[in-house]
Every structure is written in structure tokens, then in C-alpha cells.
């Protein structure tokens, strides 16, 4: 395991090499002693996964291979993130959430409790790519939402991102 910053692993966590914990965000690249990743009890983190600094993950988390979780993300208990999924950072994911393989979650997204997102789903946060006019705002998936495979959830031209 490659570690940056100060990381905390819960009891019974299983880490399969190679995994990187606490990877520094841009503001921490030249610093030492910054807050790394906090991983709850009984986590299973498979090979190729990179979890940035200032990430908090609850108990009974599992992920597939080659998952990327960027800084300032909060993930609740009993969450499962599928192989090759990307969570861009500053994201909130609730309890009992299942993201299947190849899911893309952009910055600023909120995912409630008991949410299912099917494989190869893309959420977007830029209403006018690539200009970023009006800023980035991710979608909100409410408690109990279910999204099927190969879905794309995008903001509309009226500067609204969906709440599902």
C-alpha cells in the first residue's frame, strides 16, 4: 500500500495491493502531515484503487478494481463502488448505495441513501461544456433512486441539474 498523509483504517479492513491511500490534492502536494483517507471497519479495497486525501468512507465499504475517489468525498456505510468507477471529489454518497462498474460521478454530486446506479452510467455537472458558464453543479439523487445501465444524467440549458 502506498500512503500519503495521515490515514486511518478501520478494524478488519482488507487492502489488496497495489492501493494508494491519502493521495495529495493540489493544495497538499508540497505538504506533509495532512489528513489522508479515513476508511471504516470491514472495508474491502481492491487492487488499483486510488483514494485521495480528506476522504471519509464508512463501515462495510467495498470497491472493485481500479476505482478513483477524489478529495473531500464522503461515503456512508455499506456502500459498494464498482470496478473502474470514478468519483471526482467533493461528492456526498449516502448509506446502502450501489454504484455498478464504470460509473462516473462529477464534482458537486449528492447521492442519497439506498440508491442504485447501473453500469456505465455518466452523471454530468457542466451545463455549458467546456466553458463552465454559471459554475459546476452536480445532480442530486434522492433516497431510493434507481438509475439503469448506460444512462446519462445531465444538467439542462436552464441551468438546472436534475434531482432524481
Residue 159 pLDDT > 60, yes or no?
no
Name the band, by pLDDT with cuts 50, 70 and 90, for residue 95: very high
Residues with Cβ within 8 Å of 30's Cβ and at least 6 positions away in sequence, in order, are: none
Residue 157 pLDDT > 80, yes or no?
no
Name the band, by pLDDT with cuts 50, 70 and 90, for residue 160: low
Residue 136 pLDDT > 90, yes or no?
no
The pLDDT, as a whole number, for residue 26 is: 95
Mean pLDDT of 45-74: 98
pTM of the predicted model, to two decimals?
0.93
Mean pLDDT of 49-53: 98
Domain ranges of the chain: 2-153
The pLDDT, as a whole number, for residue 156 is: 61
Residue 70 pLDDT > 80, yes or no?
yes
Residue 164 pLDDT > 90, yes or no?
no
- Which CATH number applies to 2-153? 2.160.10.10
Name the band, by pLDDT with cuts 50, 70 and 90, for residue 138: confident
Q: Which long-range contacts (CB under 8 A, 24 or more apart) does 141-145 make?
A: 141/109, 141/110, 141/111, 141/112, 141/115, 141/117, 142/112, 143/94, 143/112, 143/113, 143/114, 143/115, 144/112, 144/113, 144/114, 144/115, 145/111, 145/112, 145/115, 145/116
Of 66-70, 91-95, 154-158, minimum mean pLDDT range: 154-158
Task: Please state, in angstroms and rounded to a whole number, the distance separating the CA atoms of residues 85 and 101.
Answer: 6
Task: Please state, in angstroms and rounded to a whole number, the distance separating the CA atoms of residues 88 and 70.
Answer: 5
Residues in the chain: 164
The overall average pLDDT reported for the chain is 92
Amino acid at each position: 500500500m502506498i500512503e500519503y498523509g495521515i490515514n486511518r483504517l478501520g478494524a478488519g479492513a482488507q487492502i489488496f495491493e497495489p492501493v494508494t491511500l491519502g493521495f495529495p490534492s493540489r493544495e497538499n502536494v508540497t505538504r506533509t502531515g495532512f489528513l489522508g483517507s479515513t476508511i471504516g471497519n470491514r472495508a474491502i479495497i481492491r487492487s488499483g484503487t486510488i483514494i485521495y486525501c480528506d476522504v471519509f468512507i464508512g463501515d462495510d465499504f467495498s470497491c472493485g478494481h481500479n476505482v478513483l475517489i477524489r478529495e473531500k468525498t464522503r461515503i456512508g456505510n455499506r456502500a459498494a463502488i464498482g470496478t473502474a468507477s470514478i468519483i471526482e471529489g467533493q461528492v456526498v454518497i449516502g448509506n446502502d448505495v450501489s454504484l455498478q462498474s464504470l460509473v462516473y460521478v462529477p464534482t458537486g454530486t449528492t447521492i442519497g441513501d439506498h440508491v442504485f446506479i447501473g453500469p456505465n452510467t455518466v452523471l454530468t455537472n457542466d451545463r455549458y461544456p467546456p466553458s463552465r458558464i454559471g459554475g459546476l453543479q452536480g445532480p442530486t439523487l434522492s433516497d431510493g433512486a434507481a438509475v439503469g445501465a448506460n444512462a446519462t444524467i445531465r444538467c439542462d440549458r436552464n441551468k438546472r441539474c436534475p434531482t432524481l
